[in-house]
Amino acid sequence: MANVKDILVPDIGDFEGVEVIEIMVSPGDTISVEDPLVSLESDKAAMEIPSPQAGTIKEVKVSIGDKVSQGDLLVTMDVSAAAVEAPPAAEEATAQQPEKAPAEPAKAPEPAATPAPTPAPVTAQRPPPVAPSPIDEAGFRKAHASPAVRKFARELGADLAQISGTGNKGRIIKEDVTAFVKRVMTSAAAGGGLGVAPMPEIDFSQFGEIETQPLTKINKLTGQFLHRNWVTVPHVTQFDEADITELEAFRKQLNEEHKDEGARVTVLAFLMKALVSALKEYPRFNSSLDATGENLILKKYIHIGVAVDTPDGLVVPVVRDCDRKSLIELANELIAISGKARDRKLSPVDMSGGCISISSLGGIGGTAFTPIVNAPEVAILGVSRARMKPVYKDGEFEPRLVLPLSLSYDHRVIDGADGARFTTFLSKVLSDTRRLLL
């Protein structure tokens, strides 16, 4: 036999005329003790009203937007044994079930510093938003979400106003908040975490004919790394020049001497040799910050990454133990790895463990550029095209082959003075190849 009871608004402290912002039950729903019935929201806090009884909802006596106070009728409920034993309420409500509130009569929410024990004031009293970009408070308030989901969104700094709900009647559920946060964190273009406005979505076809080309896997991966390094490493680029007139003559002579062996020594092999000397002289350039950012890991090995331009995008294979290899060995290895890169045969191991990288655009052109540090390395050497230039020497201008160098470094690890010392050293070594023997 039906035993219908009135469920009233419990003691909610000094609050009067509190707005009903959400109704979690419908007639026919079977609920357990503590299941949330409705959400109320005052100017200062939101709270769920839990059911003091188990049973089946007969009638819902409030609507969204109603103002209620202690003692007002919320729902009528059949609390007879048969009603209690009925199957549980709708799956969606169970899936989204927010934190359980205690069964005791409701109490008024208290200030955030001392959260009230009952009924769980699910939204703390408007804590300052922790989101990188400010939360739209009005939109957040209007969003269709339970207090538990609101609290969850607050904790993560997620703006409910920007989230579309996939729950019943468009209600925002916990999974929507998680998916939103994930999207923001992983979106390379969104600027998430930087407090910058996301890139607007633009339909370019409104301006003229377009073609959409998907990025390659390498493009996407490289893009992620470059973006991370660009925003997390404070970069400085030191520009310099090296007079490689003699080096070039020597290089040509070497290639002539080794032409039967098919050797092809490019400027790059000399640059690797010069880097080995420079890293030995300035070991701080051969280091990485540890994950805590509190320690510098100094490396006793010298592996150099070389940026290779391939049809699929940029890759950086690593030549190992450069300090133990001759110029010719380095030149041969360069040919081998750049070929492997272009044939898409590099393995992740081939691209790991670099100490410093070289990005050489010298074969293509340009006068200078600012390469992005290949973190966790702390420096990268950019090389542009060598050109004949008039250099003032011993009272007159002489035509000399001058190589432009662009060294970008992580300013957390390397000071500007050391940056300049490093390129000055490189320049000296490249200008006088005998120094490579030192």
When binding is defined by CB under 6 A, the residue of 49, 75, 77, 267 that contacts ligand CAO is: 267
CA distance from start to end of the chain:
100
The closest of 182, 372, 386 to 267, measured between CA atoms, is 386
Q: Give 121 or 317: the residue with its C-beta nearer to ligand CAO.
A: 317
What residues does 388 pair with on adjacent strands?
401
Q: Give 147 or 362: the residue with its C-beta nearer to ligand CAO.
A: 362
Residue numbers 373-432 binding ligand CAO by CB under 6 A: 383, 385-386, 403
- Catalytic, 258? Answer no
Contact string 95-134 vs ligand CAO (x = CB under 6 A): ----------------------------------------
Compute the least distance from the CB of residue 248 to ligand CAO, in Å. 9
Q: Give 31 or 308: the residue with its C-beta nearer to ligand CAO.
A: 308
Site stretch for ligand CAO (CB under 6 A), options 156-164, 282-290, 306-314, 420-428: 306-314
Is residue 42 a contact point for ligand CAO (CB under 6 A)? no
When binding is defined by CB under 6 A, the residue of 46, 75, 268, 414 that contacts ligand CAO is: 268
Compute the least distance from the CB of residue 201 to ligand CAO, in Å. 26
When binding is defined by CB under 6 A, the residue of 296, 314, 328, 351 that contacts ligand CAO is: 314
Compute the least distance from the CB of residue 352 to ligand CAO, in Å. 18
Site stretch for ligand CAO (CB under 6 A), options 103-111, 179-187, 199-207, 262-270: 262-270
Q: Give 219 or 266: the residue with its C-beta nearer to ligand CAO.
A: 266
Compute the least distance from the CB of residue 404 to ligand CAO, in Å. 8
Compute the least distance from the CB of residue 330 to ligand CAO, in Å. 10
Q: Do residues 242 and 426 lie in contact, with contact meaning Cβ atoms separated by under 8 Å?
A: yes
Q: Give 229 or 338: the residue with its C-beta nearer to ligand CAO.
A: 338
Compute the least distance from the CB of residue 386 to ligand CAO, in Å. 4
Q: Give 160 or 254: the residue with its C-beta nearer to ligand CAO.
A: 254
Q: Give 79 or 307: the residue with its C-beta nearer to ligand CAO.
A: 307
Residue numbers 322-381 binding ligand CAO by CB under 6 A: 334, 338, 359-363, 371
Compute the least distance from the CB of residue 420 to ligand CAO, in Å. 21
User: Total binding residues for ligand CAO by CB under 6 A?
Assistant: 20
Q: Give 103 or 368: the residue with its C-beta nearer to ligand CAO.
A: 368
Secondary structure string (H, E, C) spanning the chain: CCCEEEEECCCCCCCCCEEEEEECCCCCCEECCCCEEEEEECCCCEEEEECCCCEEEEEECCCCCCEECCCCEEEEEECCHHHHHCCCCCHHHHHCCCCCCCCCCCCCCCCCCCCCCCCCCCECCCCCCCCCCCCCHHHHHHCCECHHHHHHHHHHCCCHHHCCCCCHHHCECHHHHHHHHHHHHHCCCCCCCCCCCCCCCCCHHHCCCCCCCCCCHHHHHHHHHHHHHHHHCCEEEEEEEEECHHHHHHHHHHHHHCHHHCCCCCHHHHHHHHHHHHHHHCHHHCEEECCCCCCEEECCCCCEEECEEECCEEECCEECCHHHCCHHHHHHHHHHHHHHHHCCCCCHHHHCCCCEEEEECCCCCCCCCCCCCCCCCCEEEEECCCEEEEEEECCEEEEEEEEEEEEEEECCCCCHHHHHHHHHHHHHHHHCHHHHHC
Q: Do residues 78 and 58 lie in contact, with contact meaning Cβ atoms separated by under 8 Å?
A: yes
Residue at shortest CB range from ligand CAO: 362
Q: Do residues 123 and 117 lie in contact, with contact meaning Cβ atoms separated by under 8 Å?
A: no
In angstroms, the CA 207 to CA 54 distance is 62
Q: Do residues 238 and 381 lie in contact, with contact meaning Cβ atoms separated by under 8 Å?
A: no
Compute the least distance from the CB of residue 48 to ligand CAO, in Å. 54
| Interacting residues with ligand CAO (CB under 6 A) | 266-268, 306-309, 314, 334, 338, 359-363, 371, 383, 385-386, 403
> Could you list the active site residues?
411
